[in-house]
Amino acid sequence: MKIQLTTQGSKKVRQGYPLIQKEDLAKGEMTTDWVELTSPQGDFLAMGYLGKQNKGLGWVLSDKKQAIDENFFVRLFQKAKMNRQVYYQDQTTTAFRLFNGEGDGLGGLIIDLYQDYAVFSWYNDTLYGKKATIIQAFQKVFPEVLGAYEKVRFESQLPESQLLYGQTASEPLIVQENGINYATYMNEGLMTGIFLDQKEVRGALVDGLASGKTVLNMFSYTGAFSVAAAMGGALQTTSVDLAKRSVPKTKEQFSVNGVDPETQNIHVMDTFEYFKYAKRKHLTFDLVVLDPPSFARNKKKTFSVAKNYGELIEDSVNLLNQNGMIIASTNAANVSPKQFKQMIEEAFLAKGVSYKKVKSYALPSDFATIATFPEGDYLKVYCYEVKK
Ligand code: SAH
Protein backbone atom coordinates (compact mmCIF):
# COMPACT_ATOMS: atom_id res chain seq x y z
CA MET A 1 0.00 0.00 0.00
CA LYS A 2 1.15 3.54 -0.78
CA ILE A 3 0.82 6.39 1.69
CA GLN A 4 1.25 9.92 0.51
CA LEU A 5 3.12 12.38 2.69
CA THR A 6 2.86 16.17 2.59
CA THR A 7 5.66 18.25 1.05
CA GLN A 8 6.99 18.95 4.54
CA GLY A 9 6.70 15.30 5.57
CA SER A 10 8.52 14.21 2.41
CA LYS A 11 11.32 16.63 3.16
CA LYS A 12 11.73 15.20 6.67
CA VAL A 13 11.90 11.64 5.35
CA ARG A 14 14.44 12.64 2.68
CA GLN A 15 16.60 14.17 5.42
CA GLY A 16 16.54 10.91 7.34
CA TYR A 17 14.06 11.76 10.11
CA PRO A 18 12.56 8.38 11.06
CA LEU A 19 9.35 9.38 12.87
CA ILE A 20 6.12 10.09 10.99
CA GLN A 21 3.82 12.61 12.62
CA LYS A 22 0.15 13.32 12.08
CA GLU A 23 0.77 16.49 10.07
CA ASP A 24 3.08 14.58 7.69
CA LEU A 25 0.24 12.46 6.30
CA ALA A 26 -1.36 14.03 3.22
CA LYS A 27 -4.67 12.19 3.57
CA GLY A 28 -4.74 10.98 7.16
CA GLU A 29 -5.68 7.34 6.39
CA MET A 30 -4.28 4.59 8.62
CA THR A 31 -3.40 0.98 7.82
CA THR A 32 -1.71 -1.91 9.59
CA ASP A 33 0.10 -3.00 6.38
CA TRP A 34 3.73 -2.22 5.65
CA VAL A 35 3.59 0.85 3.42
CA GLU A 36 5.47 2.65 0.68
CA LEU A 37 5.74 6.29 1.69
CA THR A 38 5.53 8.64 -1.27
CA SER A 39 5.82 12.34 -2.00
CA PRO A 40 2.71 14.35 -3.03
CA GLN A 41 3.81 13.68 -6.64
CA GLY A 42 3.78 9.92 -5.94
CA ASP A 43 7.56 9.41 -5.92
CA PHE A 44 8.84 6.62 -3.69
CA LEU A 45 10.49 7.90 -0.49
CA ALA A 46 10.81 4.97 1.89
CA MET A 47 9.30 1.79 3.30
CA GLY A 48 7.59 2.22 6.64
CA TYR A 49 4.51 1.60 8.73
CA LEU A 50 1.81 3.58 10.49
CA GLY A 51 1.03 2.98 14.14
CA LYS A 52 -0.23 5.33 16.79
CA GLN A 53 2.08 5.63 19.75
CA ASN A 54 2.91 8.06 22.50
CA LYS A 55 4.90 10.21 20.11
CA GLY A 56 4.09 10.07 16.44
CA LEU A 57 2.05 7.98 14.05
CA GLY A 58 4.58 5.69 12.44
CA TRP A 59 8.16 4.94 11.47
CA VAL A 60 10.36 4.91 8.41
CA LEU A 61 12.06 1.52 7.94
CA SER A 62 14.19 1.75 4.81
CA ASP A 63 14.92 4.16 1.99
CA LYS A 64 15.15 1.17 -0.38
CA LYS A 65 12.10 -0.40 -1.97
CA GLN A 66 12.17 -3.85 -0.40
CA ALA A 67 10.01 -6.50 1.19
CA ILE A 68 9.50 -6.06 4.94
CA ASP A 69 9.55 -9.73 5.88
CA GLU A 70 11.31 -12.16 8.20
CA ASN A 71 14.61 -11.72 6.33
CA PHE A 72 14.44 -7.97 6.76
CA PHE A 73 14.18 -8.39 10.54
CA VAL A 74 16.88 -11.09 10.58
CA ARG A 75 19.27 -8.61 8.96
CA LEU A 76 18.37 -5.88 11.48
CA PHE A 77 18.87 -8.23 14.42
CA GLN A 78 22.18 -9.57 13.06
CA LYS A 79 23.50 -6.06 12.71
CA ALA A 80 22.32 -5.12 16.19
CA LYS A 81 24.01 -8.21 17.63
CA MET A 82 27.28 -7.43 15.85
CA ASN A 83 27.27 -3.88 17.16
CA ARG A 84 27.09 -5.18 20.73
CA GLN A 85 30.07 -7.51 20.70
CA VAL A 86 31.84 -5.48 23.42
CA TYR A 87 29.01 -6.34 25.77
CA TYR A 88 28.91 -10.00 24.74
CA GLN A 89 32.63 -10.25 25.41
CA ASP A 90 32.44 -8.49 28.77
CA GLN A 91 32.10 -11.33 31.31
CA THR A 92 31.20 -8.85 34.07
CA THR A 93 28.06 -7.51 32.36
CA THR A 94 25.13 -9.79 31.52
CA ALA A 95 22.34 -7.22 31.07
CA PHE A 96 22.25 -4.71 28.24
CA ARG A 97 20.06 -3.40 25.44
CA LEU A 98 19.95 -5.69 22.41
CA PHE A 99 17.85 -3.55 20.12
CA ASN A 100 17.07 0.15 20.47
CA GLY A 101 14.12 0.99 18.22
CA GLU A 102 14.84 3.56 15.51
CA GLY A 103 18.52 3.59 16.53
CA ASP A 104 18.70 0.02 15.21
CA GLY A 105 16.37 0.58 12.27
CA LEU A 106 12.95 -0.31 13.68
CA GLY A 107 11.17 2.41 15.61
CA GLY A 108 8.52 1.07 17.97
CA LEU A 109 10.39 -1.96 19.36
CA ILE A 110 12.99 -2.16 22.11
CA ILE A 111 14.58 -5.41 23.30
CA ASP A 112 16.71 -5.76 26.43
CA LEU A 113 18.78 -8.76 27.50
CA TYR A 114 18.81 -9.90 31.12
CA GLN A 115 21.26 -12.79 31.23
CA ASP A 116 19.40 -15.55 29.32
CA TYR A 117 16.12 -13.67 28.97
CA ALA A 118 14.89 -10.99 26.61
CA VAL A 119 12.34 -8.27 27.34
CA PHE A 120 10.43 -6.90 24.34
CA SER A 121 8.78 -3.47 24.67
CA TRP A 122 6.14 -2.75 22.03
CA TYR A 123 5.23 0.90 21.50
CA ASN A 124 2.34 0.58 19.04
CA ASP A 125 -0.38 -1.85 18.03
CA THR A 126 0.67 -2.14 14.37
CA LEU A 127 4.08 -3.58 15.20
CA TYR A 128 2.52 -5.73 17.92
CA GLY A 129 0.32 -7.25 15.21
CA LYS A 130 3.47 -8.33 13.34
CA LYS A 131 5.02 -10.00 16.33
CA ALA A 132 4.94 -13.59 15.02
CA THR A 133 7.30 -12.67 12.16
CA ILE A 134 9.49 -10.51 14.37
CA ILE A 135 9.85 -13.21 17.04
CA GLN A 136 10.71 -15.81 14.43
CA ALA A 137 13.49 -13.59 13.12
CA PHE A 138 14.66 -12.85 16.67
CA GLN A 139 14.88 -16.54 17.56
CA LYS A 140 16.97 -17.23 14.47
CA VAL A 141 19.54 -14.61 15.44
CA PHE A 142 19.38 -15.11 19.23
CA PRO A 143 18.82 -18.89 19.68
CA GLU A 144 20.69 -18.74 23.02
CA VAL A 145 17.91 -16.68 24.63
CA LEU A 146 15.93 -19.11 26.81
CA GLY A 147 12.78 -17.09 27.23
CA ALA A 148 11.26 -13.70 26.51
CA TYR A 149 8.77 -11.39 28.19
CA GLU A 150 6.85 -8.54 26.65
CA LYS A 151 5.78 -5.11 27.86
CA VAL A 152 2.90 -3.37 26.12
CA ARG A 153 3.59 0.36 26.03
CA PHE A 154 0.58 1.56 24.07
CA GLU A 155 -3.09 1.93 24.97
CA SER A 156 -4.83 -1.44 24.85
CA GLN A 157 -6.68 -4.10 26.84
CA LEU A 158 -3.61 -6.37 26.78
CA PRO A 159 -1.76 -7.18 30.01
CA GLU A 160 1.13 -4.75 30.38
CA SER A 161 3.57 -7.59 31.07
CA GLN A 162 3.56 -11.29 30.21
CA LEU A 163 5.70 -14.20 29.02
CA LEU A 164 6.17 -14.01 25.26
CA TYR A 165 7.84 -17.36 24.63
CA GLY A 166 10.10 -19.99 26.18
CA GLN A 167 11.14 -20.56 29.76
CA THR A 168 10.15 -18.42 32.73
CA ALA A 169 12.93 -16.60 34.57
CA SER A 170 13.61 -16.98 38.28
CA GLU A 171 12.37 -14.24 40.62
CA PRO A 172 14.51 -12.39 41.26
CA LEU A 173 16.73 -12.90 38.25
CA ILE A 174 20.24 -11.87 39.30
CA VAL A 175 22.11 -10.10 36.50
CA GLN A 176 25.63 -8.65 36.56
CA GLU A 177 26.86 -5.25 35.47
CA ASN A 178 30.48 -4.23 35.93
CA GLY A 179 30.75 -7.24 38.23
CA ILE A 180 27.96 -6.06 40.57
CA ASN A 181 24.78 -8.10 41.09
CA TYR A 182 21.37 -6.59 40.49
CA ALA A 183 18.10 -8.29 41.37
CA THR A 184 15.67 -7.90 38.48
CA TYR A 185 12.10 -9.05 37.88
CA MET A 186 11.04 -9.91 34.36
CA ASN A 187 7.30 -9.89 34.98
CA GLU A 188 6.40 -7.13 37.47
CA GLY A 189 4.69 -4.41 35.45
CA LEU A 190 6.66 -2.32 32.97
CA MET A 191 9.86 -1.94 34.98
CA THR A 192 12.44 -4.57 35.84
CA GLY A 193 14.30 -3.01 38.77
CA ILE A 194 17.21 -1.51 36.86
CA PHE A 195 17.56 1.19 34.23
CA LEU A 196 20.16 -0.15 31.82
CA ASP A 197 20.99 3.27 30.34
CA GLN A 198 22.86 4.28 33.52
CA LYS A 199 25.43 1.48 33.37
CA GLU A 200 28.39 3.81 32.77
CA VAL A 201 27.47 6.03 35.70
CA ARG A 202 27.07 3.02 37.99
CA GLY A 203 30.37 1.76 36.59
CA ALA A 204 32.08 5.03 37.57
CA LEU A 205 30.65 4.75 41.10
CA VAL A 206 31.97 1.21 41.37
CA ASP A 207 35.34 2.30 39.99
CA GLY A 208 36.17 4.89 42.62
CA LEU A 209 33.97 7.95 42.17
CA ALA A 210 32.23 7.19 45.48
CA SER A 211 35.20 5.76 47.35
CA GLY A 212 35.47 7.01 50.93
CA LYS A 213 32.41 9.23 50.51
CA THR A 214 29.03 9.59 52.15
CA VAL A 215 26.46 9.35 49.38
CA LEU A 216 22.91 10.67 49.12
CA ASN A 217 20.90 9.04 46.32
CA MET A 218 17.70 10.96 45.54
CA PHE A 219 14.84 9.35 43.56
CA SER A 220 16.61 6.10 44.32
CA TYR A 221 14.00 3.60 42.95
CA THR A 222 15.63 0.20 43.75
CA GLY A 223 18.82 1.86 44.97
CA ALA A 224 21.02 0.83 42.06
CA PHE A 225 23.26 3.92 42.37
CA SER A 226 23.52 3.34 46.14
CA VAL A 227 24.60 -0.25 45.66
CA ALA A 228 27.17 0.73 43.01
CA ALA A 229 28.51 3.39 45.39
CA ALA A 230 28.66 0.99 48.34
CA MET A 231 30.46 -1.62 46.25
CA GLY A 232 32.85 1.12 45.13
CA GLY A 233 33.86 1.84 48.69
CA ALA A 234 31.40 4.53 49.80
CA LEU A 235 31.46 5.10 53.57
CA GLN A 236 27.69 5.02 53.73
CA THR A 237 24.73 5.46 51.41
CA THR A 238 21.35 7.10 51.93
CA SER A 239 18.57 6.30 49.47
CA VAL A 240 15.42 8.42 49.23
CA ASP A 241 12.33 7.55 47.22
CA LEU A 242 8.64 8.30 47.57
CA ALA A 243 7.53 4.78 46.69
CA LYS A 244 7.07 2.34 49.57
CA ARG A 245 8.30 -0.59 47.46
CA SER A 246 11.70 1.08 47.27
CA VAL A 247 12.62 -0.16 50.78
CA PRO A 248 12.37 -3.93 50.21
CA LYS A 249 13.74 -3.51 46.67
CA THR A 250 16.76 -1.53 47.84
CA LYS A 251 17.43 -3.91 50.74
CA GLU A 252 17.40 -6.77 48.30
CA GLN A 253 19.91 -5.02 45.97
CA PHE A 254 22.34 -4.68 48.89
CA SER A 255 21.75 -8.24 50.09
CA VAL A 256 22.47 -9.85 46.72
CA ASN A 257 25.89 -8.17 46.88
CA GLY A 258 26.65 -9.31 50.42
CA VAL A 259 26.14 -5.85 51.94
CA ASP A 260 24.06 -5.82 55.11
CA PRO A 261 21.16 -3.43 54.30
CA GLU A 262 20.97 -2.43 57.96
CA THR A 263 24.29 -0.60 57.56
CA GLN A 264 22.72 1.73 54.96
CA ASN A 265 19.96 4.35 55.19
CA ILE A 266 16.79 3.96 53.17
CA HIS A 267 13.95 6.50 53.45
CA VAL A 268 10.48 6.50 51.97
CA MET A 269 10.07 10.24 51.62
CA ASP A 270 9.40 13.00 49.16
CA THR A 271 12.71 14.46 48.00
CA PHE A 272 11.81 17.99 49.01
CA GLU A 273 10.66 16.76 52.44
CA TYR A 274 13.96 14.95 52.83
CA PHE A 275 15.91 18.12 52.09
CA LYS A 276 14.10 19.79 55.01
CA TYR A 277 14.53 16.76 57.27
CA ALA A 278 18.27 16.56 56.57
CA LYS A 279 18.68 20.26 57.28
CA ARG A 280 16.88 19.88 60.63
CA LYS A 281 19.11 16.93 61.52
CA HIS A 282 22.28 18.66 60.27
CA LEU A 283 23.05 15.80 57.90
CA THR A 284 25.67 16.46 55.24
CA PHE A 285 27.09 14.43 52.36
CA ASP A 286 30.15 14.25 50.10
CA LEU A 287 28.23 13.13 47.02
CA VAL A 288 24.62 13.72 46.00
CA VAL A 289 23.08 11.84 43.07
CA LEU A 290 20.01 13.46 41.48
CA ASP A 291 18.14 11.38 38.93
CA PRO A 292 14.47 12.38 39.00
CA PRO A 293 11.73 11.33 36.59
CA SER A 294 11.04 13.95 33.86
CA PHE A 295 7.71 14.69 35.50
CA ALA A 296 6.42 13.73 38.92
CA ARG A 297 3.23 14.58 40.64
CA ASN A 298 2.70 14.26 44.33
CA LYS A 299 0.04 15.58 46.69
CA LYS A 300 1.53 19.03 47.09
CA LYS A 301 3.62 19.69 44.06
CA THR A 302 4.19 18.95 40.41
CA PHE A 303 7.84 18.58 39.61
CA SER A 304 9.27 18.86 36.13
CA VAL A 305 12.92 18.72 35.16
CA ALA A 306 12.45 21.60 32.71
CA LYS A 307 11.15 23.89 35.50
CA ASN A 308 12.44 22.65 38.84
CA TYR A 309 15.86 21.05 38.40
CA GLY A 310 17.58 24.20 39.68
CA GLU A 311 15.75 23.83 43.01
CA LEU A 312 17.08 20.30 43.36
CA ILE A 313 20.61 21.58 42.82
CA GLU A 314 20.22 24.44 45.32
CA ASP A 315 18.77 22.13 47.97
CA SER A 316 21.56 19.63 47.35
CA VAL A 317 24.25 22.28 47.71
CA ASN A 318 22.85 23.03 51.18
CA LEU A 319 23.59 19.44 52.25
CA LEU A 320 27.02 19.15 50.66
CA ASN A 321 30.25 19.06 52.60
CA GLN A 322 32.88 21.68 51.83
CA ASN A 323 34.39 19.77 48.91
CA GLY A 324 31.48 17.90 47.48
CA MET A 325 30.24 16.40 44.28
CA ILE A 326 26.85 16.39 42.60
CA ILE A 327 25.92 13.90 39.91
CA ALA A 328 23.11 15.61 38.01
CA SER A 329 21.16 13.33 35.69
CA THR A 330 18.07 13.62 33.56
CA ASN A 331 16.33 11.57 30.91
CA ALA A 332 14.06 14.47 29.89
CA ALA A 333 14.08 14.54 26.08
CA ASN A 334 12.57 18.05 26.09
CA VAL A 335 15.62 19.51 27.87
CA SER A 336 18.72 19.97 25.70
CA PRO A 337 22.22 19.36 27.11
CA LYS A 338 22.82 23.10 26.95
CA GLN A 339 19.62 23.96 28.81
CA PHE A 340 20.33 21.33 31.44
CA LYS A 341 23.84 22.60 32.04
CA GLN A 342 22.57 26.15 32.23
CA MET A 343 19.91 25.29 34.84
CA ILE A 344 22.49 23.52 36.99
CA GLU A 345 25.12 26.23 36.75
CA GLU A 346 22.64 29.05 37.41
CA ALA A 347 21.71 27.28 40.62
CA PHE A 348 25.40 27.05 41.64
CA LEU A 349 25.81 30.75 40.94
CA ALA A 350 22.68 31.54 42.96
CA LYS A 351 24.19 29.63 45.90
CA GLY A 352 27.52 31.41 45.49
CA VAL A 353 29.59 28.22 45.28
CA SER A 354 32.41 27.48 42.87
CA TYR A 355 31.96 24.49 40.60
CA LYS A 356 33.70 22.49 37.94
CA LYS A 357 32.16 19.97 35.56
CA VAL A 358 34.57 17.04 35.74
CA LYS A 359 32.79 14.35 33.72
CA SER A 360 29.72 13.85 31.59
CA TYR A 361 27.87 10.80 30.37
CA ALA A 362 25.31 10.21 27.63
CA LEU A 363 23.65 7.00 26.46
CA PRO A 364 25.95 3.96 26.33
CA SER A 365 26.55 2.34 22.94
CA ASP A 366 23.96 -0.42 23.42
CA PHE A 367 21.34 2.38 23.42
CA ALA A 368 22.04 2.98 19.72
CA THR A 369 20.97 6.35 18.40
CA ILE A 370 20.97 8.00 14.97
CA ALA A 371 22.10 11.56 14.26
CA THR A 372 18.89 12.35 12.38
CA PHE A 373 16.80 11.68 15.52
CA PRO A 374 18.42 13.78 18.25
CA GLU A 375 15.48 13.35 20.66
CA GLY A 376 16.45 9.67 20.89
CA ASP A 377 19.70 10.74 22.55
CA TYR A 378 17.92 11.74 25.76
CA LEU A 379 20.32 10.98 28.61
CA LYS A 380 22.43 13.72 30.18
CA VAL A 381 24.57 13.09 33.26
CA TYR A 382 27.03 15.69 34.55
CA CYS A 383 29.40 15.31 37.49
CA TYR A 384 30.26 18.56 39.22
CA GLU A 385 32.85 19.20 41.89
CA VAL A 386 31.45 21.86 44.19
CA LYS A 387 33.44 24.00 46.63
CA LYS A 388 31.50 25.86 49.32
N1 SAH B 1 17.64 6.90 39.91
C2 SAH B 1 16.95 5.66 39.74
C3 SAH B 1 15.74 5.76 38.84
C4 SAH B 1 14.73 6.78 39.27
S5 SAH B 1 13.16 6.42 38.66
C6 SAH B 1 17.89 4.59 39.21
O7 SAH B 1 18.93 4.93 38.66
O8 SAH B 1 17.58 3.41 39.33
C9 SAH B 1 12.26 7.68 39.44
C10 SAH B 1 11.95 7.41 40.89
O11 SAH B 1 11.55 8.66 41.47
C12 SAH B 1 10.78 6.47 41.13
O13 SAH B 1 11.24 5.37 41.91
C14 SAH B 1 9.73 7.30 41.89
O15 SAH B 1 9.10 6.58 42.93
C16 SAH B 1 10.60 8.38 42.49
N17 SAH B 1 9.93 9.66 42.79
C18 SAH B 1 9.04 10.34 42.04
N19 SAH B 1 8.71 11.50 42.65
C20 SAH B 1 9.41 11.56 43.79
C21 SAH B 1 9.51 12.52 44.84
N22 SAH B 1 8.81 13.64 44.81
N23 SAH B 1 10.36 12.26 45.86
C24 SAH B 1 11.07 11.11 45.89
N25 SAH B 1 11.01 10.17 44.93
C26 SAH B 1 10.20 10.38 43.90
Round to whole Å and give the CA distance between 162 and 158. Answer: 9
Per-position b or e across 241-251, b if 16+ CB within 10 A of its CB: bbeeebbebbb
How much is the pLDDT for 55? 86
How much is the pLDDT for 300? 74
Neighbour tally for 181: CB within 10 Å: 18
Nearest-atom number in ligand 1 for the CA of 301 is 22
Taken in order 37, 106, 360, 286, the sign of the CA dihedral is positive
Q: Ligand 1, atom 9: nearest CA belongs to which residue? A: 293
Residue 19 CA to ligand 1 center (angstroms) comes to: 29
Round to whole Å and give the CA distance between 117 and 160. Answer: 18
How much is the pLDDT for 119? 99
Residue 198 CA to ligand 1 center (angstroms) comes to: 14
- What the chain holds in terms of domains, given with CATH numbers, is 2-62 (2.30.130.10), 70-177 (3.30.750.80), 195-387 (3.40.50.150)
Residue 293 CA to ligand 1 center (angstroms) comes to: 6
Q: Ligand 1, atom 20: nearest CA belongs to which residue? A: 242
Mutate which of 222, 239, 242 for ligand 1? The one with the most ligand atoms within 8 Å of its CB, which is 242
Nearest-atom number in ligand 1 for the CA of 270 is 23
Q: Render pLDDT for 269-304 as a digit per residue (tens, 0 to 9).
A: 999 999 999 999 999 999 999 999 999 877 777 889
Beta bridge partners of 184: 173
How much is the pLDDT for 190? 98
Whether the model clears a pTM of 0.95, i.e. scores above it, the answer is yes
25 SS3 class? strand
Give yes or no for a contact between 211 and 236, defined as CB atoms under 8 angstroms apart: no
Q: Ligand 1, atom 11: nearest CA belongs to which residue? A: 219
Mutate which of 182, 192, 238, 241 for ligand 1? The one with the most ligand atoms within 8 Å of its CB, which is 241
Residue 294 CA to ligand 1 center (angstroms) comes to: 10
Residues 6 or more apart from 301 whose CB is under 8 A from it? 272
Amino acid at site 148? A
How much is the pLDDT for 297? 79
Picking from 275, 278, 282, the residue whose alpha carbon sits closest to that of residue 308 is 275
Residue 303 CA to ligand 1 center (angstroms) comes to: 11
Q: Render pLDDT for 200-219 as a digit per residue (tens, 0 to 9).
A: 999 999 999 999 999 999 99
Residue 304 CA to ligand 1 center (angstroms) comes to: 12
Round to whole Å and give the CA distance between 387 and 21. Answer: 47
Q: Ligand 1, atom 18: nearest CA belongs to which residue? A: 296
How much is the pLDDT for 4? 98
Picking from 276, 352, 376, 354, the residue whose alpha carbon sits closest to that of residue 56 is 376
**Helix ranges (DSSP H) in 281-360:** 305-319, 337-351
Lining ligand 1 with CB less than 6 A are 195, 198, 219-222, 224-225, 240-243, 246, 270-271, 291, 293, 296, 298, 303
Beta bridge partners of 112: 97, 119
Round to whole Å and give the CA distance between 120 and 101. Answer: 11
How much is the pLDDT for 301? 79
Give yes or no for a contact between 8 and 96, defined as CB atoms under 8 angstroms apart: no
Cis peptide bond prior to 172, omega within 30° of 0: yes
If the chain, 388 residues long, is cut into consecutive pieces of 10 residues, what is the mean pLDDT of each piece? 98 98 95 98 98 95 98 98 98 98 98 99 98 98 98 97 98 98 98 98 98 98 98 98 98 98 98 96 98 86 92 98 98 96 98 98 98 97 98
**Helix ranges (DSSP H) in the chain:** 7-14, 70-82, 85-89, 125-128, 131-141, 199-204, 224-231, 246-255, 271-280, 305-319, 337-351
Residue 248 CA to ligand 1 center (angstroms) comes to: 15
How much is the pLDDT for 195? 98
Round to whole Å and give the CA distance between 36 and 3. Answer: 6
How much is the pLDDT for 45? 98
How much is the pLDDT for 233? 98
Residues 6 or more apart from 57 whose CB is under 8 A from it? 20, 21, 22, 24, 25, 30, 50, 51
Pairing verdict, β 2-4 and 34-38: parallel
Nearest-atom number in ligand 1 for the CA of 222 is 8
